[in-house]
Amino acid sequence: MKKIMRTIVVFGVLALLAACSDSGSSDAGGGADSGAAADSGGGDSGAAADTGGAPKAMREEVSKSGLWKVGYMPSMDPIPLNQPFELRVSVKNASSGAPFNNGKVTVDARMPAHGHGMKTKPETSFVGDGVYLAKGMQLHMPGEWMLDVTIAGEGGAAETVSARYDCCKSP
């Protein structure tokens, strides 16, 4: 029904045009009906939804000493500009993959080019199975940040693993 109406309208308009511009050549032909093509795209069956289990790390970094592997799992990815978020990090022994549970891990962020950190002071707590949760993170300006995870314990000196993060692209 609608379609018919539209067709009629279109014809009406064409008729008008033809009438007004009486330049004869009126090649109203071709054009018009691009419509239909209905590109029922390739079957992306939407299956995406995956396997569950542990959240996938946004990225992973191995410490300079090669001892630690840290996975970064922000509560929002990408991290939004100047909004509080939480950063979960997993800390493992880089070679054995064993989760690091008995030491101290702290998380912080800074902008090396500006020589400042965050305005907030995050609190890091142990969640279990090598995972730590930093609450109260907030990247208050755009630019290059370093997400620092400092790991102390298990004999060696404390070591900080840093991941560069470009904050924060507009959606």
* Binding footprint of Cu ion on the chain (CB under 5 A): 111, 114, 141
Q: Which is nearer to Cu ion, 42 or 115 (CB)?
A: 115
Q: Which is nearer to Cu ion, 115 or 171 (CB)?
A: 115
**Closest distance to Cu ion from the beta carbon of 105 (Å):** 25
Q: Count of H helices and E strands in the chain?
A: 1, 9
CB burial string 118-149: b at 16+ within 10 A, e below:
beeebebebeeebbbbbbebbbbeeeebbbbb
**Nearest residue to Cu ion, using CB?**
114
Q: Which is nearer to Cu ion, 99 or 117 (CB)?
A: 117
**Closest distance to Cu ion from the beta carbon of 88 (Å):** 24
**Closest distance to Cu ion from the beta carbon of 133 (Å):** 25
- CA 75/CA 73 separation, integer angstroms: 6
Q: Which is nearer to Cu ion, 112 or 153 (CB)?
A: 112
**Closest distance to Cu ion from the beta carbon of 59 (Å):** 21
